[in-house]
Chain A
Amino acid sequence: MGKSSKDKRDIYYRAAKEQGWRARSAFKLLQIDEEFDIFSGVTRCVDLCAAPGSWSQVLSKKMKSDDPNDPAKIVAVDLQAMAPLPGVIQLQGDITKSSTAEQIISHFEGRLADLVVCDGAPDVTGLHDMDEYIQAQLLLAALNITTNVLRPGGTFIAKIFRGKDISLLYAQMKIFFPTVTCSKPRSSRNSSIEAFIVCQNYTPPPNYTPTMLNPLLDYSYGEGNELTGINRVIVPFIACGDLSGFDSDQTYALGNAEGEEYNVLDPVQMPIRPPYQTYIDMKKRNEIK
């Protein structure tokens, strides 16, 4: 497969490199914004599982504060360190720890965030049920820390896998947010189970006390929560992004109409050290039999 092959198959991969985004997922947040206008009035934002940082890039570009004394603040949290971004406060930490929540709030001078976003995904194994479960746990961990750092009325946006138990997650989100929408940006592939949950107007239940002591566990099927049929929780689906824009499934020709040679760009940010880096290094040194 040629070097340009991925460029031809994936227009957003190409566009991300051309526009300087660290990952193609930047377009997903931009397209969610086109539909939901998520940055209006937002000055404090948390980017959970931020690496490699493309969503933080979007946040820093889109968030503008009108008050010079209260500039827009973005706190990006990830287990791994990522390359610095101007205007983004980086926090290397675990989203399941209360210390992480405290640190976030300290960066906002004790105030709560207007928006929490999370584009995190687990190490996908290929055992779909397990992958979906771990993704759901990651989302619940993100929700748990969000209830500690988000102001009432705020917005939470996170990646979800629309698998078999997605209705249970929707039900759980609806406890905290009256408006929950499943949104699929056009830059997310048609064939992927990925979608984004847009939870608006944070309204914790009465007497709810945020805590990080116990993990938030997902729901089980029970009464009123049927596996099948009409009683399941339905959240509306909204495709977002301009239909006249690029199609992530379409194959595009490279180069311009004049037949000018296409120049394959390198990715903006090389991937962070993968778990198999030592293996690759040893392989290069011919140390693997």
Chain B
Amino acid sequence: MVGPLSVPLIKTAYAGQITALCFVTPTVLLAATGPFLKVFDILAGKIIAVFEIFEHNRIHGIHPDRPPSSASGTLQTIRVALSGGKELKVLRLNFECDTITGTLVSCEQVIECPLRSFKDWIKDVHWMSADGDHPSITLALALTHNFVEVWDLTAGSLIDTVQCEEHCILYSARFFETGDGKTYLASGTVFNHVLLWDISARNQDGEGIIHKSLIGHEGVIFNIRVSRDGKRLATASDDRTIRVWETDIERKSQHICLYGHAARIWDCKLMGNYVVSVAEDSTCRVWDLETEECIACWEGHEGKNVWGVDIDPLANVVASGGGDSGIRLWSLTLLERNKIDSDAQMHQVQLPAASEESTAPEMVKTFGLLDFSQALISTTAGRFLTSHRDETLPMQEIYADRDLARYASLGTSECGQLSVVGGMEGQLAAFSPTGAFAATRWVGHVGKVTQVVIRSSGTAGIWYLFTADKNDEEMYMSCIKIPSEFGPCMVDRIATITLPEHFWTMDIAFSPEHQLLIMGSRSGAIVAYDTPLFEAKEGIVTEPTILLPALVRRRVHGKDSVSSIAIDDRPSIQSIGELIFGTVGRDGTYCRFAMAKQNETWTMELLYRSKITKGWLEKIYYVEDMAVLCGFYQKRFFAYNETKKYEMFSVACGGGHRKWDFRLQDGLLNRATFGFVRKEYLQLIFRETDNTQQFCEPKLQDNHSGNETRVVRFIDSWGENGDTSLLVTSGEDAVLRFAEYDSRRNDQSITNLLSVRKHTSVVRSIAFSKGLSGTLMFTAGAREEMRCWRLERDGDSAIRCLDMAVAPNASDITETRIMDIGSASLSALGKDFHGRHVVLAACSDAYLRLWLYDEASNEFSLVAYSRAHQRCVLKARISAFAEGLSTPAVVGITAGTDGRVMAWDFTDTVKQHFTESGSSVVDLAQPLYTSKVHQSGVNALDILPCPDSDKGLTLLIATGGDDNGISATKITFCDHISTQAGLTVQKVVQGIILSPHSSGVTGITVISASRFLTTSYDQRINAFDLAELSGDTYSFICVASQYVDVADISDMDVRLVR
């Protein structure tokens, strides 16, 4: 027997919506997430303190007792009222700052007023006595039914209450003070109006008088914000507009109406001439009130909503907080540097005036950047000139050849020391833009040189050159060396690369360390070559090696070009024996692959795939610990930080067809140069910024999913470490997210490890099975999509999720959803079944389907199906059992919207599938056992084998229903060697309770033979003990009930930690 639950449930980690953000100084940001208030120092980019404010509510409002201080590092103490639902708590936060750096060292809370509950939901809080020395706390509360209460919280007395003359329900309200010291409330009504009313004046009925109605919105008002001087008011609405009004009640003014957000707007802040807004379209936008234009649209949050926004008091930084639990920082001051729209922000390179003999002026044909301030320009006169940012430095002619006037294919080394140019007649020239060596000319091709690519050898002064002509069967690889004394550089052709069929090379990556060459094609293919060790052999001319493809993979980016390949040599990434590389394509996706050599053959596995843009991706840069992707979308060039997931920089350049080049020094683009050719002129943009003056980490808090999570699972098999738990979640966004919870951390956070996007629609279920090597994971969801993955450990804290197989569709209806899956390894059935797994799928077309996954063939095959439920099947569990039985058995449990739970014996079906050749799919007969346990759908199911003293297999089956009820059924199955008729039901013990929860039960976990946990939309986690009564029935004893602050709980998993 288990004793009563001795340990209460304690909240330890939370990743939920950010509901409010509030700067108290330029560097100290308060964030509300669930019941927690987090204190961040944005300069240091770290969390300083976390306080749990409410037991039953999330924080919806942060109300400091005074406007934010504009000096950072001086903050000592501030009082903050925190509202959530009907509850209010007042804290004093005491800060300790580092006197030298000005950063926060610590923050502690003192409770000024304990938790108080009011009679209506609090919409806004106003400090009536904001004097810091004054001990009394008098607050005005704006409540949902459009009335105000003024409380002396120190005395605990209600000073005043006033109902507005307009009785209605508010979505929003905001207090403001006018110049004459009067306090007004702006009420945002469900009737789309904003009412400004004086909370101290009364009409003849004793109700508050409306002085001004702001009419114009066509939807409800979700938020109201007032400018710091109280003169202007911004409102955010259901009608997808932000409107800015004047508060002056004497004036009937026009308002400004801002359209642009593609969905409902949740909040907006006014600061000077800016409005910053956040919305359901998951963007944060900046609006210029003078031009009434949207001047920035920041996309950094996943999922549906961004709820919280604030601007620091110096108007440098915007913080946005998402429904995805991420907190982002954006620079307002760098707005112009991050989004280049006008020619005034570019440098146009002026070529020297035309020489006398030429009538046409000399123009730019193509170019390459040599470093952050120099470009090498190929001109229409066949000249190659270096241009420096410093215009006082004259242009220098590095090389000239009239034959290259019409056509030149130019390549520049990353170090900027070598350039190679190819011409119409197969001629090539290598020269030094820095003048380090003399040019070399040779004829390398027959006909036009179409491609010139230079890659570093890893050794200074030695490069590899890849060139191609119109012959699409081969490319040449040459080695270029700087001579020891000044003179022409040495060029040796070292290899002839045989291309696969229809392979038009787009980009080349070469790893001298792995002796591996990888190329991408215009039609989405990747080819890899083993290369010999190219040793620098002085003066020995050898025959070029012929390289044959070692591996070809087609359609990596669909039919679109593989525009860039880069070897990921970030120190944190590479693991021994493997080469990790990334590709981007014109399908707008970014992929990561691992290549490894086993028995002299290369294997290539897709590690990650993510669609970044509807436009093109053109280039990958791995710099510091980040991945930066560049591309074009809607006639703009952009640089996207893939690690931090946001667009850092964009230029209105006209589109991706132009000649362009980009250089960057760091992952956040504090230093970068972009150039492009427009109308035969070279335009350059030099970027030198320093974000670290404002904040060092643009992603202050990492995000999780911003959409509904449908499934959460602990990965039990993951290590023995009791301090950490690995979990995987998925849901409406179809992304599999792996995260780690470390109980030793005390910031209430969950660390993201990996996101995998492969499912095309909602993922509803995840199941595990022990594979021959590592854990197999099955995922399933809408569009009848079911996949198999293999999980691998990657170093100490990283995980890899390898895409293995996808199950074919079995339903006639493409919209069929797989509601749930259970999976099990068949190893218990004997040696022949090692590496084979069953997956039982509950499907919305009223079928349950039994699948087999074979590790050897890496394929799914359908074994059997049944329509016994006749309605949508909601839940499925399956397991193979040996204990208590004479021969091992495969048992499945299913449940559906019919409220029935069924038990199935799949043993013979599975065995026959292997014995009979060309085995057909079996239409299963009736289940072993059926019982109607709920009035409506069964939304939670768990099973646990409970070995009894009797012989046979005993399973405890627990269910939770949409009818608020739960059931427990213990079934004992027996098998009979003599008849070989399979399992029969020997004994059943059952119990049902009708209303243990006030709402539908969505999670149930059996933790022992007599105890289980349940959860429901009513936001309680209950623990029940089972007592077996005579007459084969169970009675339930509720041993614990805990309120949890997660609304709409859709799934629960329990991990028992020893």
Q: Which residue numbers of A lie inside 8 Å of B, CB to CB? A: 5, 8-9, 79, 94, 96-97, 122-123, 125-130, 132-134, 137-138, 141, 162-164, 166-167, 170, 182, 184, 186, 190-191, 193, 214-215, 217, 220-221, 227-230, 232, 234-239, 243, 247, 249-253, 275-279, 282, 287-289
B19 and A220 form a contact (CB under 8 A): no
Measured CA separation A227–B998 after assembly (Å): 11
B239 and A276 form a contact (CB under 8 A): yes
For chains A and B in complex, what number of residue pairs have CB atoms within 8 angstroms? 188
A21–chain B nearest beta-carbon distance, Å: 22
Q: Mark B793-826, 1 if CB is under 8 A from A, else 0.
A: 0000000000000000001110111010000000
Residues of B close to A232: CB separation below 8 A: 998
Residues of B close to A228: CB separation below 8 A: 1020, 1022, 1041-1043
Q: Which residue of A lies closest to B1047 (CB)?
A: A128
Residues of A close to B897: CB separation below 8 A: 190, 247, 249-250
Knowing A129-B1047, A250-B897, the reply to whether A220 touches B119 (Cβ < 8 A) is yes
Query: Which candidate, B56-64, B447-455, B681-689, B737-745, is the interface stretch facing chain A?
Result: B56-64
B60 and A249 form a contact (CB under 8 A): no
Residue B220 interfacial (CB < 8 Å) = yes
Measured CA separation A9–B761 after assembly (Å): 14
A130 and B815 form a contact (CB under 8 A): no
Residues of A close to B1017: CB separation below 8 A: 162-163, 193
Given contacts A133-B85, A190-B936, list 13 more A-B pairs with CB under 8 A. Answer: A97-B167, A126-B304, A134-B144, A141-B169, A164-B1043, A184-B936, A230-B1038, A234-B995, A250-B844, A253-B812, A276-B219, A279-B241, A289-B294
What are 23 sample pairs from A and B whose C-beta atoms fall under 8 A apart? A9-B815, A125-B222, A127-B19, A129-B1047, A133-B144, A141-B169, A162-B1018, A163-B1047, A164-B1043, A191-B939, A191-B962, A217-B145, A220-B119, A227-B56, A232-B998, A238-B935, A243-B898, A247-B846, A247-B897, A250-B872, A251-B872, A275-B238, A276-B219
Knowing A133-B85, A190-B962, A249-B872, the reply to whether A162 touches B844 (Cβ < 8 A) is no
A129 and B191 form a contact (CB under 8 A): no
Residues of A close to B1041: CB separation below 8 A: 228-229
Knowing A228-B1042, A229-B1038, A249-B937, the reply to whether A217 touches B120 (Cβ < 8 A) is yes
The 9 closest A-B pairs by CB, nearest first: A275-B219, A128-B1047, A162-B999, A228-B1041, A190-B937, A239-B935, A249-B872, A164-B1019, A250-B872
Partner of A250, one of B58, B845, B1043: B845
Residues of B close to A97: CB separation below 8 A: 167
Residue B994 interfacial (CB < 8 Å) = yes
B984–chain A nearest beta-carbon distance, Å: 28
Q: Which residue of A lies closest to B143 (CB)?
A: A217
Measured CA separation A204–B190 after assembly (Å): 29
Which residues B333-357 have CB closer than 8 A to chain A?
Answer: none
Residues of B close to A214: CB separation below 8 A: 163
Residues of A close to B432: CB separation below 8 A: none
A162–chain B nearest beta-carbon distance, Å: 4
Residues of B close to A237: CB separation below 8 A: 935, 963-965, 994-995
A277 and B218 form a contact (CB under 8 A): yes
Q: Which residue of A lies closest to B167 (CB)?
A: A96
Q: Which residue of A lies closest to B1018 (CB)?
A: A164
Knowing A162-B1000, A215-B145, A239-B936, the reply to whether A251 touches B260 (Cβ < 8 A) is no
Q: Among the interface residues B817, B844, B1042, which one has the most CB atoms of the partner chain A within 10 A?
A: B844
Q: Which residue of B lies closest to A193 (CB)?
A: B1017
Residue B240 interfacial (CB < 8 Å) = yes
Which residues B1018-1055 have CB closer than 8 A to chain A?
Answer: 1018-1020, 1022, 1038, 1041-1043, 1047-1048
Residue B168 interfacial (CB < 8 Å) = yes
Q: Which residue of B lies closest to A243 (CB)?
A: B898
Q: Which residue of B lies closest to A133 (CB)?
A: B121
Residue B579 interfacial (CB < 8 Å) = no
A72–chain B nearest beta-carbon distance, Å: 31
Measured CA separation A127–B846 after assembly (Å): 33
B239 and A138 form a contact (CB under 8 A): no
Residues of A close to B1043: CB separation below 8 A: 164, 227-228
B1048 and A184 form a contact (CB under 8 A): no
Residue B368 interfacial (CB < 8 Å) = no
Measured CA separation A96–B305 after assembly (Å): 31
Knowing A162-B999, A166-B999, the reply to whether A129 touches B259 (Cβ < 8 A) is no
B937 and A282 form a contact (CB under 8 A): no
A68–chain B nearest beta-carbon distance, Å: 41
Q: Mark B62-104, 1 if CB is under 8 A from A, else 0.
A: 0000000000000000000000011000000000000000000
Residue B991 interfacial (CB < 8 Å) = no
Partner of A278, one of B144, B222, B239: B239
Q: Which residue of A lies closest to B819 (CB)?
A: A249
B169 and A251 form a contact (CB under 8 A): no
Q: Mark B772-784, 1 if CB is under 8 A from A, else 0.
A: 0000000000000
Which residues B837-851 have CB closer than 8 A to chain A?
Answer: 843-846
Partner of B874, one of A8, A123, A190: A190
Knowing A186-B936, A227-B1043, A238-B935, the reply to whether A138 touches B56 (Cβ < 8 A) is no
Knowing A129-B1047, A250-B872, A289-B260, the reply to whether A166 touches B998 (Cβ < 8 A) is yes
B167 and A215 form a contact (CB under 8 A): yes
Measured CA separation A243–B872 after assembly (Å): 12
Measured CA separation A143–B145 after assembly (Å): 16
Residues of B close to A94: CB separation below 8 A: 168, 191
Residues of B close to A96: CB separation below 8 A: 167-169
A288 and B120 form a contact (CB under 8 A): no
B17 and A127 form a contact (CB under 8 A): yes
Residue B616 interfacial (CB < 8 Å) = no
Residue B379 interfacial (CB < 8 Å) = no
Q: Which residue of B lies closest to A234 (CB)?
A: B995
Residues of B close to A162: CB separation below 8 A: 964, 998-1000, 1017-1018
B303–chain A nearest beta-carbon distance, Å: 10
Measured CA separation A141–B925 after assembly (Å): 53
A220 and B86 form a contact (CB under 8 A): yes
Which residues B16-42 have CB closer than 8 A to chain A?
Answer: 17, 19
Residues of A close to B1019: CB separation below 8 A: 163-164
Residues of A close to B1042: CB separation below 8 A: 228
Residues of B close to A5: CB separation below 8 A: 815
B127–chain A nearest beta-carbon distance, Å: 23
Residues of A close to B1018: CB separation below 8 A: 162-164, 166-167
Residues of B close to A123: CB separation below 8 A: 171, 190, 219-220, 238
Q: Which residue of A lies closest to B1017 (CB)?
A: A193
Residues of A close to B58: CB separation below 8 A: 129
Measured CA separation A206–B1022 after assembly (Å): 38
B259 and A128 form a contact (CB under 8 A): no
Measured CA separation A8–B783 after assembly (Å): 12
A127 and B936 form a contact (CB under 8 A): no
Q: Which residue of B lies closest to A79 (CB)?
A: B191
Which residues B246-268 have CB closer than 8 A to chain A?
Answer: 259-260, 264, 266
Residues of A close to B293: CB separation below 8 A: 289
Residues of A close to B999: CB separation below 8 A: 162-163, 166, 193
Measured CA separation A235–B259 after assembly (Å): 47
Q: Which residue of A lies closest to B266 (CB)?
A: A125
Measured CA separation A138–B190 after assembly (Å): 11
Residues of A close to B388: CB separation below 8 A: none
Residue B321 interfacial (CB < 8 Å) = no
Measured CA separation A79–B220 after assembly (Å): 13
Residue B920 interfacial (CB < 8 Å) = no
Residues of A close to B995: CB separation below 8 A: 234-237
A251 and B845 form a contact (CB under 8 A): yes
Knowing A134-B169, A215-B167, the reply to whether A275 touches B239 (Cβ < 8 A) is yes
Residue B117 interfacial (CB < 8 Å) = yes
Measured CA separation A132–B57 after assembly (Å): 13
B963 and A239 form a contact (CB under 8 A): yes
A280–chain B nearest beta-carbon distance, Å: 9
Q: Which residue of B lies closest to A96 (CB)?
A: B167
Residues of A close to B260: CB separation below 8 A: 288-289
Partner of B871, one of A130, A134, A235, A250: A250
